[in-house]
A and B are shown apart, each in its own frame.
Chain A
Amino acid sequence: AQSVAQPEDQVNVAEGNPLTVKCTYSVSGNPYLFWYVQYPNRGLQFLLKYITGDNLVKGSYGFEAEFNKSQTSFHLKKPSALVSDSALYFCAVRDIVSGFQKLVFGTGTRLLVSP
Chain B
Amino acid sequence: EPEVTQTPSHQVTQMGQEVILRCVPISNHLYFYWYRQILGQKVEFLVSFYNNEISEKSEIFDDQFSVERPDGSNFTLKIRSTKLEDSAMYFCASSELLYPRTANEQFFGPGTRLTVL
Interfacial residues, chain A to chain B (CB-CB below 8 A): 32, 34, 36, 41-46, 49, 51, 90, 92, 94-96, 99-108
24 CB-based A-B contacts, threshold 8 Å? A32-B103, A42-B111, A43-B4, A43-B108, A43-B109, A43-B111, A44-B93, A44-B108, A46-B105, A49-B103, A92-B43, A94-B102, A99-B101, A100-B56, A101-B48, A101-B50, A101-B56, A101-B101, A102-B45, A102-B48, A102-B56, A102-B58, A104-B45, A105-B43
Chain A residues with CB under 8 Å of B42's CB are 90, 105-108
Chain B residues with CB under 8 Å of A108's CB are 42
**B56 touching A103 by the CB < 8 A rule?**
no
CB distance from B32 to the nearest CB of A (A): 10
Q: A103-B43, A104-B45, A107-B42 are in contact. List 15 more A-B contacts (CB 8 A).
A: A41-B110, A43-B111, A44-B93, A45-B108, A46-B105, A46-B107, A101-B48, A101-B50, A101-B56, A101-B101, A102-B33, A102-B45, A103-B106, A105-B42, A106-B42
